[in-house]
């Protein structure tokens, strides 16, 4: 299966680090839990993405160890894995990608497994994992909404039955395993 996995805030602590930097710059004291919608950061801060222009910012980003284990296991099982980012092209984009990939076994996940795009809907896959509800499409893929404070208002409603919320990477791994078993038994 082709599995598309968002990078920022799905496998990393991007927003946590960004908010820390923005709080320092703006002398504010917001917490990640305060972010209750996708546009919140842009509503509260001017030059929201300014911190991402520094290597030091990306040096603080951590990749979830459970995400690494799950993604590497999926790769070992023969799945096509693509890490996707909707990052804007800037001088730090290559640095961000190298820092992200440095966490993985390069024989399993490397530069060939990264896609940079603006519209993630252009990329088709069998399974899509993202923290942004707007990046999950009703196109027959299994859509996994990675739980974050800004997507808590979304519920699995009748019009979105193909979207399943998961709170951690162990539950993501279990869902993918069960989904693959069902699909392979058809």
Rounded Cα–Cα distance for residues 186 and 172 (Å): 22
Rounded Cα–Cα distance for residues 50 and 155 (Å): 32
CA distances from 42 to 47, 123, 134 (A): 8, 26, 16
Task: Write the pLDDT tens digit of every residue in 95-131.
Answer: 999 999 999 999 999 999 999 998 898 899 999 999 9
Classify domain 2-13+63-184 by CATH number: 3.40.50.1000
Do 82 and 123 meet the contact criterion of CB atoms below 8 Å apart?
A: yes
CA distances from 145 to 27, 29, 162, 166 (A): 32, 27, 10, 6
Task: Write the pLDDT tens digit of every residue in 43-98.
Answer: 999 999 999 999 999 999 999 999 999 999 999 999 999 999 998 788 899 999 99
Mean pLDDT of the chain: 93
Q: How confident is the model at residue 139 (pLDDT cuts 50, 70, 90)?
A: confident
State yes or no: pLDDT of 155 exceeds 90: no
Per-residue confidence (pLDDT) for residue 160, from 0 to 100: 58
Rounded Cα–Cα distance for residues 89 and 91 (Å): 7
CA 104 to chain centre: 15
Per-residue confidence (pLDDT) for residue 84, from 0 to 100: 97
Do 160 and 138 meet the contact criterion of CB atoms below 8 Å apart?
A: yes
CA distances from 154 to 44, 84, 85 (A): 22, 22, 22
Q: How confident is the model at residue 158 (pLDDT cuts 50, 70, 90)?
A: very low
Compute the chain's Rg from CA coordinates: 17
Where exactly are the structural domains of the chain? 2-13+63-184, 14-59
* Whole-structure pTM value: 0.94
- Residues facing residue 2 across a β-bridge: 80
Q: How confident is the model at residue 186 (pLDDT cuts 50, 70, 90)?
A: low
Is residue 134 classed exposed, middle or buried when 0-12, 13-18 and 19+ CB atoms within 10 A define those classes? Answer: exposed
């Amino acid at each position: 299966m082709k599995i598309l996995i968002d990078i920022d805030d799905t496998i990393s602590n991007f927003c946590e680090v960004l908010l820390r930097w923005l709080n320092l710059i703006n002398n504010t004291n917001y917490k990640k839990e305060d972010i209750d919608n996708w546009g919140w950061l842009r509503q509260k801060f001017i030059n929201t993405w300014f911190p991402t222009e520094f290597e030091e910012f990306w040096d603080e980003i951590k990749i979830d160890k459970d995400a690494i284990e799950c993604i590497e296991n999926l790769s070992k099982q023969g799945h096509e894995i693509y890490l996707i980012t909707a990052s804007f092209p800037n001088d730090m984009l290559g640095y961000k990608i190298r820092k992200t990939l440095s966490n993985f076994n390069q024989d399993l996940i490397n530069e060939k497994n990264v896609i940079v795009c603006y519209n993630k809907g252009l990329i088709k896959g069998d399974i899509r994992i993202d923290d942004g509800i707007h990046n999950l499409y009703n196109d027959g893929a299994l859509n996994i909404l990675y739980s974050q404070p800004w997507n808590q208002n979304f519920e699995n409603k009748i019009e979105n039955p193909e979207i399943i919320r998961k709170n951690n990477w162990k539950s993501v791994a279990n869902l993918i395993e069960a989904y693959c078993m069902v699909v392979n038994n058809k």
